[in-house]
Amino acid sequence: MQLPSTRSIRLGVAAFLVIWALTTLVSASSYYLDGAAGPMSWLATVGQFGSVWILWGAVVPVIFWLARRFPLHRGKWPVAFGIHVVASALWTAIYFPASIVVLRLWYGQPPFVNVLAGVRSYPYRAFNEAFIYWVLTVAAYALWGVLDRRAQEQRTAALALHNAQIQEELVRSELRTLRSQLHPHFLFNALNSVAGLIRTDDRQGALRVLSRLSDLLRYALETEHEPFVRVATELDFVQQYLEIQQVRFRDRLEVHVEVEPGTEDLSIPSMLLQPLVENAVLHGMGGLRQGVPEGKNTVRVSVRRQRDELEVCVSNPARAEEQRPSGFGIGLQNVRDRVERLYGDHADFGLHHEDGLVVARLRVPAERIGVRGNPGSTSGTIANGAKSTEERASS
């Protein structure tokens, strides 16, 4: 059982004083207006009732203490009920003679002279005092019940908040782990491209790739603590990655980017699209040896809004013998894990085989920057980015 705080004690004392004052004023005024006070003034009547009612000030804390000490729990209420029966009987036996003594002191009379004569009216007052006692007892149990329920709700809320904070930190830790898995994977592929250019004695191409790789790694570091960025910002990052692949594959890689107006400022997890595009590029280039028409890998990136969802589709030609996607590699599995941790059941990601194409389709809630607390950054317009990508692909 927790002890009440100092603030609770002060509020309780203040509440008692207010109730005592109101009870005194109401009962004294009613007594005075009925003419029962006789020649006494209204102020004297208030003083008389106040001196009597203050006796209850001695028993109210006892009633509340008993209600707290003996709660009405299952199996324990008979004990609590019996204790209050005894307490109410003792109080009614004490209160009436005590009130006579207080009144005589109020009027300056000897307090203990002929007290038994006044006690003869005790049977007529006992019921009234017992009734007040039980009303106060019910009020005490009700008040403790409200306070206990509020305290339990606060403890539950605090525990839920604590668990949510722990869960959030776990998710953040998992996301950091997933992002850290992307860096070596992406870096290996990029450096492999550089190595291929060096072997073909294309030093200028190798330098361009290293320059773009530096920009990509800078973006990865800048967004390390930003789980969400603008769609336009993420596509700029993808564009820089495609420039690296364009140097490597030249006219064998063709890219088409379609962005629905109004989606540029929607939010998307940072570094989420690059693994999709990388999979389409590398998977499609592998299919060139399997008879893809015209010897080109055509990668299409589509961004549009479907009601309350943002849909991103990345496709590439399927291999001739392939009837279904071969499964998730490191990059795509990483995307799926991040989407599940960030959105739960409110998002969807899958790899499908449609009309001779392998399509990676991502659907996430269509939310603008700021809804999830992701301020994002801007590094150019998506229209120019898409145009420049297609121009480089066709050159």
Give the mean pLDDT of 214-223.
Answer: 81
Among 89, 107, 128, smallest CA distance to 39 is for 107
For the stretch 307-346, pLDDT in tens is 899 999 999 988 755 555 555 677 788 888 888 888 888 9
Residue 3: is its pLDDT beyond 60? no
Most distant CA pair in the chain, distance: 125
Query: 2: which DSSP letter?
Result: P
Please report the pLDDT score of residue 260 as a whole number. Answer: 95
Looking at residue 106, its pLDDT comes to 63
**Mean pLDDT, the chain, integer:** 76
Decide if pLDDT at 8 tops 90: no
- Give burial (CB, 10 Å; 0-12/13-18/19+) of 314: buried
Q: Where in the chain is the domain with CATH 3.30.565.10?
A: 202-394
Q: Which residues pair with 361 in a beta bridge?
A: 313, 350
Domain at 202-394, CATH class: alpha beta
pTM for the model: 0.50
| More reliable by pLDDT, 68 or 364 | 364
> For residue 2, which amino acid is it?
Q
Angle at 265 between CA 282 and CA 170, to 5 degrees: 70
Q: How far is it, in rounded angstroms, from Cα 120 to Cα 115?
A: 9
Rounded Cα distance between 250 and 288, Å, is 14
Per-residue H/E/C for 45-114? HHHHHHHHHCCHHHHHHHHHHHHHHCCCCCCCHHHHHHHHHHHHHHHHHHHHHHHHHHHHHHCCCCCCCC
* Cα–Cα–Cα angle for 274, 322, 194, rounded to 5 degrees: 40
Residue pLDDT, tens place only, 356-386:
889 999 999 999 876 544 433 333 333 333 3
pLDDT at 185 over 70: no
**What mean pLDDT do residues 294-311 have?**
88
The answer, yes or no, to whether residue 389 has pLDDT greater than 50, is: no
pLDDT band at 392 (very low <50, low <70, confident <90, very high): very low
pLDDT in tens, 75-97: 788 888 899 899 988 888 887 77
Gap between the Cα atoms of 161 and 148, Å rounded: 20
Section 13-25 average pLDDT: 73
